[in-house]
Structures are given as structure tokens and as C-alpha cells.
């Protein structure tokens, strides 16, 4: 992509309304635009990152055996009356009337709708296990939308829903998602710690929030330092092997970890002082087993091996891709701007032409742009006639992992400079070597 033809509205001023670094950087880097309180457009650079985050989430959901569908954002109030949540949900739910005065709502979540789909088609335990997910916009009329896309009113969610014949199998479904989440966050360049979460009136201990440690996080968290060095399951993890999934979950739930709501002073007291990590955190995912909470009132029954009909056991599993953009930036930035992990960077390489119009510079850059692109890399080529200082500042701000800088002297000598954004390391190499180096 040539910058001269792209839409990258970089702000020079630091926007006053932004209280936390990710919000500031997302506005300055031209990733998002606020349209009204808690409502954001994702500008082209932001959209690229959002797509990459979703692609990783999708790959790991699919790997674990979950199946993607797409449900609408607008739902009928009657469906929510079946579960009793229409009245219970309160002011966070945006209620809408259509021209026939039918009551609708903008979905804050999809348990009811997916249960309706399930009960319409599935009758037998032989069709289980089943896990259906989608990545769809949600609306919650948050009391205090803030911090940009970190807590917005309209936000993207990946929500998965598992269906099983009995508790034991639904625990395995839970473990599958737990393991898929560990892999997902790790691939996003994040260290996410699963923390026991409140299950509310349903009880049990099958609910975990996945939390990223960050000083600007909204939750207060307490965990054992061991979490920082636990191994994340590899690509070869067998999602059909219930015992090994359970073992992974055990390993990841044994050291102490809790948010302030679930904090247990006695258990915390037993953690050696030097292993204690009391910090702030951002919730990026939440998994929840709720058994028959929806299947019973909504009549989602299946016939078991013994011929008896039972309400299906369910769980739901959420990740917030739009919040993740902000969380990744909170975890990875410096004074100059964002430092994208390679896996989600909007472009792989930033190519800077220091002197557009200079024949050597233009020729070298055109060649690099072509060659780098031919290896499958996404290149953002700054071909604009602007000051070198501004070019460097913008490229640092948007945080692409690698920069290739071509100036008139270097171009004449057949050289370019490579800069690694994360470390600031710079090296001058011959133009011929750039493509191999960058794509390595
Ligand atoms: P929170 O406690 O932060 O309000 P929640 O418990 O209401 O979150 P869930 O209902 O479990 O969240 O939603 C699943 C995921 O969706 C969350 O882990 C988070 O990543 C994302 N999410 C929830 N609310 C918002 C929001 N207002 N803005 C952006 N992302 C959100
Ligand atoms: Mg909430």
C-alpha cells in the first residue's frame, strides 16, 4: 500500500479526551474515530488489526472443534422472555420497536438465540458435542463507556456456546475452550492469566476470566508469579483427549489467581511473599459453564443413550476482539507509539522513502516495494513528500514491526537501513539483501 493513496489520518496533537495510552495511541495513529459516546468507526489501519485478531481467534476456535455461524445483531424480545432475561437485563439492553410495534433489542449476548437454533434441530445425544460460535457486534448501554474501544457500547465479540449431554462432557467442552483461549492470547502476543470468576446464582467453580496485566486495567487482581512462566499448549494439542485437556487446565488453575471479587485472603496469605503479584488487569475473555440455565426454561432437550430426555448442558465463551486491540497496545508500546506483535501488525513492513523525487531513492524503493510484496509481505510504502522527522515519527507511532529506510546517499551506494521497531536496533545492509532479511 502506498501511503499517498492510503487513508491514514494521523493526529499530531494528543487528544485531550483520551485518559489511557491505548486510547491516545489509537486516535493518534488514525485507527478509530468516535461517532458518539461508546460508538467507534474502525478506520482502515484499525480495521486491519481487528481482522488479524479475528483471524487468529477463528483459527483457534476452529482448531478446537467449534463451528462458526452468524446470528443477527437484532433479536426479538419474545425470545428473551422465554428465558426470563428480557425484564432482568435492565438498562444495559437497548430496546427497539419496529414499524409494526414489535419489540426488538440489539443483542448484548446470544444465549437465547443459539438455544433456539439448537432446539429446532438437535434431538439426540448422537449429535453432540456441539459448539457453535460467531463473531458479531454487540450493544450494551454501559453506564460509563470509556477508554475508547476498551469499554465501548457497541463492540465486537466472539461468543461460543457449547452443548453436551451431561456435566462431565460439558466440563470437557469447557476445558477445550480454556485451552483454545490460552493458545489464542499467546498468539496475540499476550500473557493472559485465567482467574476464577464469580458464577453468580448458578454456583460451581466453572468460570474463568482471562486477564492481561496492565497498570490501566479496571480490575484489581492477585496472582502467583508462576503464571508468568507456564508453558502454553502447542499446536499439536489433542482436542479430543479429555484427560490431557483436563491436565492442562489443572496446571493453569492450580497457582493462586483471582480478581478482587473472588479474592480469598486466606489462600493469598499462603502464597510466599516473593511470589505474590498484586496488579491491575484487563479482562479480555470470559468462559462460563451454566448447565441448564437456558435449556430448561427454553425446552432444549435431547434424548440420551437410555432413551430419556434431558435438558442439554451448556456453556458460553466470550472474547472481545475490539477490546483486545486496546489491550495489546496497553501491553506493548513505548513513548514513540505502538509496538505491534508480528501476528497482528496492520502491515508487516514500513518502507520509508526519505526523498521522493530523487531518482536513486525512487528506483530503490520501487524495487523493494515490489520484491517485498512478492514474498507475501504486506508493505506500507511511505512515498510522500514530507519531512524525514515526520516520516520517522509516524512510522514509529503506527508500530509496524520492521522499517526499511532508504535515503539518497544509501540508495546511491546500493544500501538501505533496517530498523526493528521493538528494540530500536538499526543496521545498514545492501539493497539486494533486504528482502531476504525482512522475510526471514
Ligand atoms: P466487563 O466486566 O469488562 O464489563 P463482562 O463480564 O460484561 O465484561 P462478558 O459478558 O463476559 O463481559 O463479555 C465477553 C467479553 O467481551 C469480555 O471478556 C470483553 O473482552 C468483551 N467486552 C465486554 N464488554 C465490553 C465492552 N463494553 N467493550 C468492549 N469489550 C467488551
Ligand atoms: Mg460488562
Q: Render pLDDT for 323-355 as a digit per residue (tens, 0 to 9).
A: 999 999 999 999 999 999 999 999 999 999 999
Shortest-distance Cα residue to atom 4 of ligand 1: 151
Task: Report the atom number in ligand 1 closest to the C-alpha of 288.
Answer: 11
Average pLDDT, the chain: 96
Strand stretches in 308-425, DSSP E = 309-311, 313-319, 333-334, 337-338, 349-353, 379-382, 402-406, 415-420
Q: Render pLDDT for 276-289 as a digit per residue (tens, 0 to 9).
A: 999 999 999 999 99
Ligand nearest to the CA of 157: 1
- Would you state the pLDDT for residue 199? 74
- pLDDT surpassing 80 at residue 204: no
283 lines ligand 1 (CB under 6 A): yes
Question: How many alpha carbons fall within 13 Å on the CB side of residue 344?
Answer: 31
> What's the start-to-end Cα distance of the chain, in Å?
21
259 lines ligand 1 (CB under 6 A): no
Shortest-distance Cα residue to atom 11 of ligand 1: 286
Ligand nearest to the CA of 282: 1
- pLDDT surpassing 70 at residue 164: yes
Please state, in angstroms and rounded to a whole number, the distance separating the CA atoms of residues 258 and 224: 10
Residue 280 · residue 214 · CB < 8 Å: yes
Given the C-alpha cell 424480545, which residue does it identify? 77
Task: Report the atom number in ligand 1 closest to the C-alpha of 209.
Answer: 18
Query: Which mutation among 85, 283, 315 tests ligand 1's pocket best, with the greatest number of atoms within 8 A of CB?
Result: 283
In whole angstroms, how far apart are CA 384 and each of 4, 330, 335?
6, 30, 24
Task: Report the atom number in ligand 1 closest to the C-alpha of 324.
Answer: 20
What distance in angstroms lies between residue 343's CA and the mean position of ligand 1's atoms? 23
What distance in angstroms lies between residue 430's CA and the mean position of ligand 2's atoms? 53
Ligand nearest to the CA of 198: 1
Long-range Cβ contacts of 332-335 (<8 Å, 24+ apart): 332/189, 333/21, 333/22, 333/25, 333/399
322 lines ligand 1 (CB under 6 A): yes
Query: Which mutation among 323, 326, 328 tests ligand 1's pocket best, with the greatest number of atoms within 8 A of CB?
Result: 323
Shortest-distance Cα residue to atom 2 of ligand 1: 283
286 lines ligand 1 (CB under 6 A): yes
- Would you state the pLDDT for residue 197? 87
From 213-222, 236-245, 311-320, the region with the lowest mean pLDDT: 213-222
38 lines ligand 1 (CB under 6 A): no
138 lines ligand 1 (CB under 6 A): no
- pLDDT surpassing 70 at residue 290: yes
Residue 53 · residue 15 · CB < 8 Å: no
Residues 308-333, mean pLDDT to the nearest whole number: 97
What distance in angstroms lies between residue 44's CA and the mean position of ligand 2's atoms? 27
Which are the contacts of 157, defined by CB distance < 8 A and separation ≥ 6? 109, 135, 136, 137, 138, 318, 319, 320, 321
Task: Report the atom number in ligand 1 closest to the C-alpha of 153.
Answer: 27
348 lines ligand 1 (CB under 6 A): no
Shortest-distance Cα residue to atom 6 of ligand 1: 286
Query: Which mutation among 286, 287, 324 tests ligand 1's pocket best, with the greatest number of atoms within 8 A of CB?
Result: 286
Q: Render pLDDT for 231-262 as a digit per residue (tens, 0 to 9).
A: 999 999 999 999 999 999 999 999 999 999 99
- E strand or H helix at 181, and its extent? helix 167-187
User: Is the whole model's pTM more than 0.85, yes or no?
Assistant: yes
Amino acid at each position: 500500500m502506498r501511503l499517498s493513496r492510503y487513508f491514514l489520518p494521523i493526529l499530531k496533537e494528543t487528544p485531550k479526551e483520551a485518559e489511557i495510552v491505548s486510547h491516545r495511541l489509537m486516535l493518534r495513529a488514525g485507527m478509530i474515530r468516535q461517532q458518539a459516546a461508546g460508538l467507534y468507526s474502525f478506520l482502515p489501519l484499525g480495521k486491519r488489526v481487528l481482522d488479524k485478531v479475528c483471524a487468529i481467534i477463528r483459527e483457534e476456535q476452529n482448531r478446537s472443534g467449534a463451528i462458526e455461524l452468524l446470528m443477527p445483531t437484532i433479536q426479538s424480545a419474545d425470545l428473551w422472555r422465554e428465558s426470563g432475561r428480557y425484564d432482568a437485563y435492565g438498562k444495559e439492553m437497548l430496546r427497539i420497536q419496529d414499524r409494526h410495534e414489535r419489540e426488538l433489542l440489539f443483542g448484548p449476548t446470544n444465549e437465547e438465540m443459539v438455544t433456539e437454533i439448537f432446539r429446532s434441530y438437535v434431538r439426540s445425544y448422537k449429535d453432540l458435542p456441539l459448539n457453535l460460535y460467531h463473531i458479531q457486534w454487540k450493544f450494551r448501554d454501559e453506564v460509563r463507556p470509556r477508554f475508547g474501544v476498551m469499554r465501548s457500547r457497541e463492540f465486537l465479540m466472539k461468543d461460543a456456546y457449547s452443548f453436551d449431554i451431561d456435566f462431565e462432557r460439558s466440563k470437557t467442552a469447557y476445558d477445550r475452550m480454556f485451552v483454545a483461549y490460552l493458545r489464542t492470547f499467546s498468539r496475540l502476543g499476550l500473557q493472559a492469566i485465567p482467574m476464577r470468576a464469580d458464577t453468580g446464582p448458578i454456583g460451581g467453580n466453572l468460570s474463568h476470566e482471562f486477564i492481561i496485566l496492565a497498570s490501566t486495567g479496571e480490575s484489581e487482581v492477585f496472582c502467583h508469579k508462576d503464571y508468568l512462566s507456564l508453558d502454553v499448549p502447542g499446536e499439536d494439542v489433542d482436542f479430543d483427549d479429555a484427560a490431557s485437556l483436563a491436565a492442562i487446565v489443572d496446571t493453569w488453575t492450580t497457582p493462586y489467581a483471582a480478581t478482587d471479587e473472588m479474592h480469598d485472603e486466606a489462600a493469598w496469605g499462603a502464597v510466599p511473599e516473593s511470589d505474590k503479584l498484586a496488579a491491575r488487569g484487563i479482562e479480555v475473555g470470559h468462559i462460563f459453564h451454566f448447565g441448564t440455565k437456558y435449556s430448561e426454561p427454553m425446552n432444549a432437550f435431547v434424548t440420551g443413550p437410555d432413551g430419556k430426555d434431558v435438558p442439554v448442558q451448556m456453556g458460553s465463551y466470550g472474547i472481545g476482539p475490539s477490546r483486545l486491540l486496546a489491550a495489546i497496545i496497553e501491553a506493548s508500546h513505548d513513548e514513540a507509539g505502538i509496538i505491534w506483535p508480528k501476528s497482528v501488525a496492520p502491515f508487516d513492513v514500513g518502507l520509508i522513502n526519505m526523498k521522493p523525487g530523487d531518482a536513486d531513492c525512487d528506483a530503490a524503493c520501487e524495487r523493494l516495494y515490489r520484491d517485498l510484496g512478492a514474498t507475501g509481505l504486506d508493505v506500507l510504502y511511505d512515498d510522500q513528500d514530507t519531512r524525514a522527522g515526520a516520516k520517522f515519527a509516524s512510522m514509529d507511532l503506527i508500530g509496524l514491526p520492521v522499517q526499511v529506510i532508504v535515503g539518497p546517499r544509501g540508495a546511491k551506494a546500493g544500501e538501505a537501513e533496517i530498523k526493528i521497531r521493538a528494540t530500536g536496533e538499526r543496521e545498514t545492509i545492501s539493497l539486494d539483501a533486504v528482502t531476504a532479511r525482512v522475510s526471514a
